[in-house]
């Protein structure tokens, strides 16, 4: 298994929770304090903390501490990597993995 699939699947997993997906949307215009994010959800503070740890852990979100507050923002580099990867794996391309498979057999040949 190519490790790039392992890596990017982690990013998609981070986006596979509706709460985290909405958090990403909320961060798309700039950084927000954890307390502001929390107000918009029906989840407890530890659950939000868990989700933010997930989003930061995979690199999608960056955390900044200011006093007793935590401010979160999107990591544009990771976001762009993900967009390019999604485009790559869904678009015909010259170095496509499918070329390796031609004439490899398969029952339907």
Partner DNA sequence: ATCATAGATAGATGATTATCTATATGATGT
Partner DNA sequence: ACATCATATAGATAATCATCTATCTATGAT
Q: What does the binding site for DNA look like in residue numbers (CB under 7 A)?
A: 13, 16-17, 19, 33-35, 38, 42-54, 63, 67-70, 107-108
Torsions phi, psi for 102 (to 5 deg): -60, 140
- By CB under 8 A, the count of residues binding a copy of itself is 52
CB of 31 to a copy of itself, least distance (A): 10
d(CA 59, CA 76): 10
Smallest distance from DNA to CB 109, Å: 9
Q: Is 79 in the site for a copy of itself (CB under 8 A)?
A: yes
Cα–Cα nearest to 34, from 53, 16, 17, 15: 53
Coil, helix or strand at residue 2: coil
């Amino acid at each position: 298994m190519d490790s790039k699939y392992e890596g990017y699947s982690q990013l998609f997993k981070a986006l596979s929770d509706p709460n985290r997906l909405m958090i990403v949307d909320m961060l798309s215009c700039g950084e927000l304090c954890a307390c502001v994010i929390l107000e918009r959800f029906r989840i407890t503070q530890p659950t939000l903390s868990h989700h933010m740890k997930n989003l930061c852990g995979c690199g999608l979100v960056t955390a900044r501490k200011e006093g007793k507050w935590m401010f979160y923002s999107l990591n544009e580099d990771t976001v762009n990597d993900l967009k390019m990867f999604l485009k790559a794996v869904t678009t015909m391309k010259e170095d496509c993995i499918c070329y390796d498979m031609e004439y490899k057999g398969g029952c339907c040949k």
